[in-house]
Chains A and B, each alone.
Chain A
Amino acid sequence: MARLNVNPTRMELRRLKTRLKTAERGHKLLKDKSDEMIRQFISFVKQNKALREEIEGELRDALKYFMLAGSIMGEENIEQTFAMPSLSFTVNTGLKNVMGVDVPKLEILSTEGALPYAITSVPSDMDNAVLKLNALAEKLLRLAEIEKTCNMLAREIEKNRRRVNALEYVMIPQLKETIKYIMMKLDENERSTIIRLMKVKTMLDNQNDR
């Protein structure tokens, strides 16, 4: 591991030691964050999977009814029936903070279970389909919310892991190595000063003796 390009002085040593301390603390914090994010991610992803499975089944059911009704009514009639939808679906959008990630939060505004057409003009299968879909809408939005949360958490976990690794395998070893280098250098300097002093002293003693 390459050491940093710094002058081997006491001041530099002090500076590096504080940097090492900060890096180690940051590393620990980020690691903890990563653990917690993964824990939450797993619970979200489990929900996501269950919800998607549930929706796949129910949606297929609803669409089947719709197709059935469609085959009775004919394509044009269907288009006419739904050409002017009487209700429009809106949601309130907000943000929720999950482990420092801003994930979307949805709130449904309009859910009347009303049928958007004259009840006599369409077969009852259509009623079934529309009511089923209406009931599904909330689940679909929850799925959207959770799936997005999973997406964003996954990204964040990946990013965080890179940070942890950079600290653990690059930054901290580098700092440690540099600190060691400076200490060795300083010790060496000290030893050479002592030796020099001893030499000078013997020289002076020899002179005095003479």
Chain B
Amino acid sequence: MTQGKVAVIGEKQIVTAFKAIGFDTFFADDPQVTTDILRKLVKENTYAVIFITEDVAKGMDETLAILKSRSYPIVVPLPSLEPNGYGMDCIKKDVEKAIGVDILFNKD
């Protein structure tokens, strides 16, 4: 068992809140900056979990896809003030990938 820290990347108003509970925070409000920060953090290898707010995560599918196959760090889209459904989309994509059809969300 090794130890790891938790980071949050996203808009300033949102991430400041997480600073209060001891997460490391990084400000970024567009996908390009976020990708740069994320790359740096992954290289550093001290973070176990990296949360990215949905709004910025939306534009960086490719980078996130690369990280999906590794067990650490765990990169997760974080629902923000107004959830835009990106996090749910990710789950949906997983289901479609594994089973072929979406069996969880077909109600809506």
Chain A contact residues, CB within 8 Å of chain B: 38, 41-42, 45-46, 48-49, 52, 55-56, 59-60, 62-64, 66-67, 70, 78-79, 82, 85, 87-95, 102-104, 106-107, 109-110, 116, 126, 129-130, 133-134, 137, 140-141, 143-145, 147-148, 150-155, 157-158
26 pairs, A vs B, C-beta closer than 8 Å: A41-B99, A42-B103, A45-B94, A45-B95, A56-B83, A60-B79, A62-B17, A85-B19, A91-B48, A92-B2, A93-B1, A93-B2, A93-B72, A104-B48, A109-B3, A129-B17, A133-B18, A133-B20, A137-B23, A141-B6, A147-B90, A150-B94, A151-B68, A154-B94, A155-B97, A157-B97
CB < 8 Å: which of A46, A66, A106, A143 contacts B48? A106
Q: A144-B51, A148-B71 are in contact. Are A91 and B97 (CB under 8 A)?
A: no
Q: Which residues of A contact B22 (CB under 8 A)?
A: 85, 87-89, 110, 116
CB < 8 Å: which of B18, B24, B71, B90 contacts A102? B71
Count A/B pairs, Cβ under 8 Å. Answer: 150
In the complex, how many angstroms separate the beta carbon of A127 from the nearest chain B beta carbon? Answer: 10
Best-surrounded residue of A87, A103, A106, A140 (most CB of chain B within 10 A): A140
Interface of A is mostly: helix
In this complex, the interface size class of chain B, counting residues with CB under 8 Å from chain A, is 35 or more
Q: Which residues of B contact A41 (CB under 8 A)?
A: 98-99
A154 CA to B102 CA in the complex, in Å?
Answer: 13
Q: Which residues of B contact A110 (CB under 8 A)?
A: 22
A82 CA to B68 CA in the complex, in Å?
Answer: 32
Contact B13 A67 (CB under 8 A): yes
Contact B74 A144 (CB under 8 A): yes
In the complex, how many angstroms separate the beta carbon of B18 from the nearest chain A beta carbon? Answer: 7
Contact B72 A104 (CB under 8 A): yes
Best-surrounded residue of B48, B71, B76 (most CB of chain A within 10 A): B71
The A-contacting residues of B in range 20-36, CB under 8 angstroms, are: 20-24
- Among residues of B, the one whose C-beta sits closest to the C-beta of A151 is B68
Q: A45-B91, A150-B94, A151-B94 are in contact. Are A137 and B21 (CB under 8 A)?
A: yes
CB < 8 Å: which of B2, B4, B79, B103 contacts A52? B79
Contact B16 A78 (CB under 8 A): yes
CB < 8 Å: which of B13, B23, B74, B87 contacts A89? B23
Q: Which residues of A contact B98 (CB under 8 A)?
A: 38, 41, 153-154, 157-158
Best-surrounded residue of A87, A89, A103, A109 (most CB of chain B within 10 A): A89
In the complex, how many angstroms separate the beta carbon of B19 from the nearest chain A beta carbon? Answer: 4
CB < 8 Å: which of A66, A103, A152 contacts B17? A66
Interface code B58-85, partner A: CB below 8 Å = 1, 0 otherwise?
0000000000110110101011110100
- Among residues of A, the one whose C-beta sits closest to the C-beta of B71 is A104
Q: Which residues of A contact B17 (CB under 8 A)?
A: 62-63, 66, 129-130, 133
Contact A82 B2 (CB under 8 A): no
Interface code B37-73, partner A: CB below 8 Å = 1, 0 otherwise?
0000000000011010000000000000000110110
